Structure formats: C-alpha cells, structure tokens
Structure 1
Amino acid sequence: MTEVVQSGPTSLRILSLNCWGLKFISKLRNERLAEIGNQIAAAEFPPDIVGLQECWTQQDYNAIRERTKHILPYGKFYHSGIFGGGLVILSRWPIEESSMWRYPLNGRPAAFYRGDWFVGKGVACARIRMGPTRRDIAEVFCTHLHAPYESEPHDSYICHRTAQAWEITKLMRGAAERGHLVIGLGDFNMIPLSLAHRIIETHSPVRDVWRIIHPDSSIGAAKDKVEKLRGLPMPNAEFNLTVNGATCDSAFNSWRWNHAHQKRLAKGENVVIEPTVDDPHAKRLDYIFFSSGSHHDAATGENTAEWSLKDASVGMTMRHPTLHCSLSDHFSVEATLVRSTASASSVEHSPWALPEKYLELNTYDEILATITKYTARERTQRRLRMGHFGYQLCLSIGCLIGVWWAPHNYVAFILMLISTFGLSLGVLEGLMGGLFVGSELRALREFEWEVKNTRARAATKQQE
C-alpha cells in the first residue's frame, strides 16, 4: 500500500550511557544521577531516544525522569532478576510495546561478589511509534553484557558474553526483517572487532555507528597487545574521545584518576586534565548499532535505506557543577540519524531483504571450542558441588550421631552447630550443582546447536 505522506521525524538523536548507579556501592550516586538528568535535559541537541544502563533503583529513574520528561515524556524502567536489570529506555514518542528478554547464559550465582547473575542481565526491548504510519516504527534494544573480569582469551565469562551477543543479534535481525528502524545500544563490555562485535555486525544488518565514521579507530586500549600490534603512537586524551570514541577508563574521567588527583578532588579542587596527556587505558565499551528500515521506490523498483548516519560523538564528559567529579565512570555515546526525503507518491513500506552473511568457518569453530571448554568446566563443577553436598550430608549425620555420646552439653552444641552449618552449605552446593549448573548446561546445548547449524549453512554457502 502506498503511503500518502511522510509524517514521522526527519532526524533522530540517540544517546546511550552507563550511569554507574550501583546502590550502596557507587559513590555520590544520588547527586550524579540527578545531574545526569539535568545534563540530558540541557543538551544543545536534545536526544529523542535514550538508553541507560546501571540505573538500578526506581528512585534514580524517577529523578532522571522528573528532569527530562519535558523532552522525553515516555519512559520504561525494566525489572529483571533479584536486584533489577538496571536498564532504562526514554523516548520522545510513545512506547507501544516493551519486554525484558533475559539471557539464558548470564553469570554464576556462586560469584555473588560480582552480581551479574543476580541482576538478571538481558535486553530491554521497546517498540516506539514515531508517527501514524507503518514506516514510523523504531525497535530499540538496550543491554548490558556480562562484564569481563580477565583479559580475553583467558576471561572465564567469554562464553557468556559471546552467547549474549548471539541472542541480541537474533532480536535485532528479527526487527530488521520486519522492515523497522533498529537501534541497539548499551554497554557491551567488548572492544571493537572482538568476537562478540563481529557476531553482531555479521549475523544482523546493524552497523557500529562509530566505525562507520571512524573505520580506523582503535580496537582496544593503547596498552593492550591488540592495539600495540598496530604500531600507532600513544594517543592523547582528546584524540581518544574524538577519534577513538573511548567511553571508558579515559584520562578525563575522574573515577579513573590516580590517588593524588583523587585527594585533590576530595578537597574540593576542580582538577583540570590537559587534553594532550597520554591516555593508555581508555577504550570503547559503549556502542550504538543501527539498521535502517527501507522504502520502495516505485519509479526505479528498488529498495533504499530510509535512515542514514549523520554523526556520532562521545558525550556527557562534563563534571558535576559542585562536586567536580565525572557524572559516571563511563561517558556516553551519541549519534544522529537522518531520514531520506523520497517523494511521498513513490514510497511504499517494504520489509528489509537481508543478505545471508557469515563469519569465517574457523570463527564458528572458535565459538564451538569455547562452548566445549566451558561445558567441560561446568560438568566438573557439577560433580564437585554434588560431591560436596554428599560430603556435608554425611558429616551432618555423623555429627547428629555424635551428639548421643557427647560427654558435655557444650560438645553437643558444637556438634549441632557443625551439623546445621555443614548441611546448609551442602544444600546450597547441591542446589547450584543440581539445578543451576544443569540449567546452564542445557542453555549451552541450545547455543551449541545454533552455532553448528549456522556453521553448516556457512559451509554450504562457501561451496556454492
């Protein structure tokens, strides 16, 4: 059906920011997140769609909403896991539908000090209606992938992050096949051209906005081996912001300063960092991906991308006006999309015809090897945990039997205490080994099947 007018927006401003809003842990949380709301509202180019990560509490969400509702009247705070997913989507236009898609592989409950499993990480999905026609729909996917705690390839959670990238890729591909504008944003905890990054850009039609404009930008921190191999000079702080798109560990970010600078800041001094200072640690972990919907030109018979990228930048680099600290331990990534001006009489809505794209076969083998290695680890963990449960159960029974012959009351008390504590610990180990690890192994089998199936298609394509 031919549409009469193009009534939706002609440009779209997008912002993504990790707010670092961990309750009881993040310093100056209330003051910083309130100021984040102030700065979003006061932006020279106000955003139309905002994705936030690590906004954990309803209180912080309400503080930001209160300050931005005049430009972003629609918003959704996403609930997930035990402590919440920390994901928020704000919009200039109505959110027609929303859902929270939790990742099947998502950390381990035993690593309670890391918390990834407890927050139920996943993808916050929102279908945003920008106008009255079918062409005026944007599907937004906001996420925060599992954090790396060691350097790749030794990161014990690389299998989780790879599987999570695979899952969000499927969601974005489905949205693109519906012919909608697709926006994926968030803290992906990956460096450019890493395995997770290649999966996203290969198995869905989305593109990393920063690499569209800066295709030769860094693929890691200057101190990292992957960047040293490029043989480039040490970047300064300004270059990392404007060219490399570094959003994390920047020399400009007060939460990454050395102890001397932190002490000066604590005394109320507004410490100034020179733009020319060497910046070996800064890297890009925050991303905006997008894929345009399409329109059909009746005159030429061709499908043409409806949205294109105008610019991308690192933002939210300002400091708190009175505390002089950075607003988060990350900076934001921002982008502007513009819409084509095809004549209304020749425009028809058309689903996006996605070309089949595949990674190299050895890359799928690399993913499968990672799955196999992690599966073996989890099977060992299950045996150990179930063995620990059996040991603690026997110990508990032994202590209870020992109570019968205890010569003194205090000895009986100690035996009962050991029995209770041991059995409680054993039950926890049994639950993790029997239920959680079992669930994770089943998720791994599903992921393995999908990768093998995709590899088979890639091999067939290669032979044609």
Structure 2
Amino acid sequence: MECCRRPRSPRSATTKTYAPPLYVPSDLVAPAKTPTKRSLATDPDPNTSSDDSSTHSAPPPAHHAHAKGPAPASAHPAVLRLMTYNFFLRPPLIADYKGDSKEERLEEFIHRVLPRYDILALQETFSGYSSRVARLEKAAVRQGYLGHVRGPQGTVLHGHLLDAGLLVLSRWPIIESSNWTYSRGVTVDRLAAKGVSYTHHVHPDCENVHLHLFNTHLQASYSTAPDPHQNPSVACRDDQVRELAEFIHHHVSKHVLATVPADAVATAASKDVAMPSRPSSPRLHDVPPPASSDSNDAASATRDKLHHLILVCGDLNVNSLQSNQTEYQRLLDMLKGPQQQFAVADLLAQHGSVDYTQIPWRWLSQKRRDLSRDIFEQEGGRLDYILSLSPAEKAISAAGGPWNVHNVVIDKCEAEHPSFLQLSDHMGVAATLAWPGSSAVMEAAQGKDEAMHSAE
C-alpha cells in the first residue's frame, strides 16, 4: 500500500485546439484551457505545460476529398459506430509467443477492423521504438479517417520508458484534444506514461452533434481478483480514477455544464447502474435493438439543439466479473463527481450481453483451441468498458439528450491466421449509437449492422 502513497512524480497535461475544416463553423471551436500539473480544479487560470503529446489534426479538406479506401463506416449520418480496444501492440523486444505476431496482427487489423468503425479508442498501441503506429495512422487516413490523437508520450526525466499506448482514430473532425499523465504507477506499469486523452469531435455533416471522448488505460493488477482494500495496484488505480474524474469534469464543464442551470447540477439524479452478472457463455451475443420511441414531432423539436455525448472508454483494469464488485462500484461512484453531477452508465451492462473481454495471450496463440468456461473464470476478466456520463435530468434536456443506444456488443476481432485466433488478448467493446430527433435511426443502424456482419 505504501508504494502508492509516497510522493509522486510530476504529472503533465497538454491541450490543443485546431483550425476546423471548412465545413465546421469556427464558432464551434472552444478556446483551449490547459490544466496545471498541480490541480485541474483549484487553478482557474492554469498555465501551459510542456507538450508531451503527439496530436494530429485533420488533413486539409482538399486531402479529405481524395482520401482512398472504403467509404466511411457511417452510411447513415445519424449513426455512430465506436469501439474501444486494447490492441496488445507492445514495443519491440517485449513479447511472448512468436514475438506476439505484431506485424501480422497489425495488417489484419488494418484490413478487417478499420473499415467497420467511425471512431476507435485504442490502448496498448505503443508508438515508441517502431513505426507501427505511424503506419496504422497512415492506413486510417487512406480509409477515410480524418484525424488521430495519441496519448501522453512521457519523458525519461519522469521515469517513463514507454508512452501511454493510447490512440484515437476518428472519421469525425477533432477540434480539440488534451492529454493528462497520471501520477506514477506501481510494478512494471510505472515505466509507462499511463494517462488519459480527451478528444472533442464534431460530426462532419451535423454541426450540433458533439462527442466528448476520454480514452484511458489504468494501472494493472496482474491477478483476476485483487483485494479491493489492501492491494497496492488497486490503491494506485483508485488514485488514477480520481485524477480521471477531475480531468473529465474540467473539460465537460466548458461545453456541457456551462449551459446548464446551477440548480439542475446541484440536484443531479443518481441513477442505479445495471450491475453485471456472470455470463453463461464466452461467445459474442448480439441483442435485438430496443424499440424506438422517437416521433417526427420530437425530431423537429430537437433538430436545432446541441447534442453532447460524453463517453469514457478504455481498459480500466477493473474486473467486474469477480464475486466482489466493490472496486467496480467505487469506480462508477467516483466518476459521478463530488456532488453527484453525473449519472454513469455501463453501456455493455445496460444494453448488451456482459461477458469476458480478456484472456491471456497464450490461449489465443500457443494453445490455440476452443476455450472452456473454466479457463475464462480462472484467468479471464471483464476489464474493458464504454461508460456514458449524463448530467442531471434537466441538464440532459438542456443539452439535447438523451442519445439512442442501438446495441452494445463484444467484438472478438477474430483472425484467420495459423498463429493466433484473435487480434489481441482483449476483445473490443463496440457500440452503435444515434442522437435524438434523428429519423429512421434504428432502421439505418440495423441495416448497417447487417452489412458489417455480412462483410465479416
């Protein structure tokens, strides 16, 4: 426990804004505010810190028009397909069986996964000591992605030999981004600049549709059921979640809460979050889409409102399938904010079929075979999440929400290769969403899912 309580190395944060593409009005670009290394909440006018990020804005519009590759995943402008995925793309010389087959998995990912999504939030996609991430970014541009943002890069001065391994790829223009490096971790995780990246996306055709995406990878425990009260990694992870929550609320307050009455925030409703139960099968289970309650009148009423979606994605390293769910519930509670300003929803638990999202790589490479339930229960975990944050009920109405969740599934990203069964030791968590007031949303989403599965 003490290793998490001793003085921490300095944290770092960077924020960037961009000149938007021609089709995004300049008044949508919010002025950047860079948090200090000391606190995000106590300094109202933070100073700019040194840049430890690798952030790339969208290419010029002329380049967009000539981008080669498949058409964007969103055939219908009111539908967003997003996936969070721990890619297991570790640096050179760090490998298990056959070098982790990094090159082969990267090529399959480019050809099999990139075309299917609008936005990808990736973890363990390390950019140091190889050109793999740069090649992935270039391949994404060729397939119609408009921008990409890397996470904190870290410095040797702060004891970091590796970057954060975070990467966001987006078909939507990114008009603002910011990185935050957590206080130093424990065990081998202390060598990586673990942190969180924030990206503010605006839909390329619908100027009032905004996505606030937080991509993160928290401290690992290296056991399937750590003690939620005594384990040093759990204590360190709790500290990181507190920093994450502060970082989220700092950025969200500039865009969403700024237009919400103070009394609405103060009396935020505390929603019960669906608690995941143990699944009956490790396989991916699709669920039928929920019935849409949208009407033409509702569509007309919300057409001109700002629609803000706040998502926290990533490998949170909190195993919600273990019998003791203390840490999982603590995570959700901390993200609600000190005054319960937000309701937090675990999208897979509420709208999908809860299942394991991680299994040791040896079972997918060296010991290639069908995995029994016992193997998942002994060595697997549910570590990967898409969490949505919604302000108080009145705030949702003021901001033009809530959004429609068509479905949330586990995408195993299976491979057709003799050396491995999947592209990572993690499975992706994928969501199909649509904003309120859109017409024929569910029909478009349904057709899109069918096209995606037929392409597989």
Q: Displacement, 1:302?
A: 6.8
Q: Provide closer, same or farther for how the CA distance between residues 191 and 137 of structure 1 changes in structure 2, counting only shifts above 3 A.
A: same
Q: Which amino acid aligns with 2:79?
A: S
> Is 1:37 aligned with 2:110?
yes
Q: For 1:11, which of 79, 85, 88 is the aligned residue?
A: 79
Q: Displacement, 1:201?
A: 4.8
Q: Displacement, 1:198?
A: 2.6
1:287 alignment counterpart: 385
> Is 1:184 aligned with 2:260?
no
Q: Provide closer, same or farther for how the CA distance between residues 129 and 320 of structure 1 changes in structure 2, counting only shifts above 3 A.
A: same
> Is 1:248 aligned with 2:248?
no
1:206 alignment counterpart: 344
**For the residues of structure 1 that align with 2:435 and 2:377, how far apart are their CA atoms?**
38
Q: Displacement, 1:34?
A: 2.6
**For the residues of structure 1 that align with 2:244 and 2:84, how far apart are their CA atoms?**
16
1:53 alignment counterpart: 123
Q: Displacement, 1:73?
A: 2.9
Q: Which amino acid aligns with 2:190?
A: W
**For the residues of structure 1 that align with 2:398 and 2:361, how far apart are their CA atoms?**
51
Q: Displacement, 1:118?
A: 2.3
The 5 A counterparts of 1:30-429 are 30-42=103-115, 46-57=116-127, 59-69=131-141, 70-81=143-154, 82=160, 83-104=162-183, 106-108=184-186, 111=187, 114=188, 116-131=189-204, 135-150=208-223, 151-153=226-228, 154-177=230-253, 178-179=255-256, 180-192=308-320, 193=325, 194-203=328-337, 204-213=342-351, 243-249=353-359, 255-256=362-363, 262=366, 271-273=368-370, 279-281=376-378, 282-291=380-389, 305-341=401-437
Q: Which amino acid aligns with 2:382?
A: R
Q: Which amino acid aligns with 1:273?
A: D
Q: Which amino acid aligns with 2:313?
A: L
**For the residues of structure 2 that align with 1:49 and 1:19, how far apart are their CA atoms?**
15
Q: Provide closer, same or farther for how the CA distance between residues 302 and 78 of structure 1 changes in structure 2, counting only shifts above 3 A.
A: closer
Check the 8 A contact 1:14/1:335 in 2, yes or no.
Answer: yes
Q: Provide closer, same or farther for how the CA distance between residues 86 and 278 of structure 1 changes in structure 2, counting only shifts above 3 A.
A: closer
Work out which of the two has the higher radius of gyration on C-alpha atoms and give 1 or 2: 1
Alpha-carbon RMSD across the aligned residues, in angstroms, is 3.2
**For the residues of structure 2 that align with 1:323 and 1:73, how far apart are their CA atoms?**
33
Q: Displacement, 1:77?
A: 2.4
Q: SS at 1:137's partner residue?
A: strand
Q: Displacement, 1:278?
A: 6.6
Check the 8 A contact 1:15/1:335 in 2, yes or no.
Answer: yes
**For the residues of structure 2 that align with 1:158 and 1:294, how far apart are their CA atoms?**
30
165-174 vs 85-94, greater mean Cα deviation: 165-174
Q: SS at 2:244's partner residue?
A: helix
13-22 vs 321-330, greater mean Cα deviation: 321-330
**For the residues of structure 2 that align with 1:129 and 1:85, how far apart are their CA atoms?**
25
Q: Displacement, 1:331?
A: 1.0
Q: Provide closer, same or farther for how the CA distance between residues 196 and 39 of structure 1 changes in structure 2, counting only shifts above 3 A.
A: farther
What TM-score do the two structures reach when normalised by structure 2?
A: 0.56
Check the 8 A contact 1:14/1:49 in 2, yes or no.
Answer: yes
**For the residues of structure 2 that align with 1:101 and 1:201, how far apart are their CA atoms?**
16
Unpaired runs of 5+ residues, structure 1, are 1-7, 215-242, 266-270, 344-464
**For the residues of structure 2 that align with 1:328 and 1:164, how far apart are their CA atoms?**
25
Check the 8 A contact 1:38/1:64 in 2, yes or no.
Answer: no
Q: Which structure's residues are more often helix, by fraction?
A: 1
Q: Displacement, 1:245?
A: 2.5
Q: Displacement, 1:323?
A: 2.7
What TM-score do the two structures reach when normalised by structure 1?
A: 0.55
Check the 8 A contact 1:247/1:332 in 2, yes or no.
Answer: yes
Identity %: 24
**For the residues of structure 2 that align with 1:71 and 1:322, how far apart are their CA atoms?**
30
Check the 8 A contact 1:85/1:122 in 2, yes or no.
Answer: yes
Q: SS at 1:117's partner residue?
A: helix
Q: Which amino acid aligns with 2:319?
A: I
Higher RCO (CA-CA < 8 Å; seq separation 6+): 2
Q: SS at 2:191's partner residue?
A: coil
Instruction: Please list the CA deviations of residues 361-413 of structure 1 after superposition, one character each: whole Å capped at 9, or x if unmatched.
Output: xxxxxxxxxxxxxxxxxxxxxxxxxxxxxxxxxxxxxxxxxxxxxxxxxxxxx
Check the 8 A contact 1:293/1:306 in 2, yes or no.
Answer: no
Q: Displacement, 1:65?
A: 2.4
**For the residues of structure 2 that align with 1:302 and 1:125, how far apart are their CA atoms?**
23
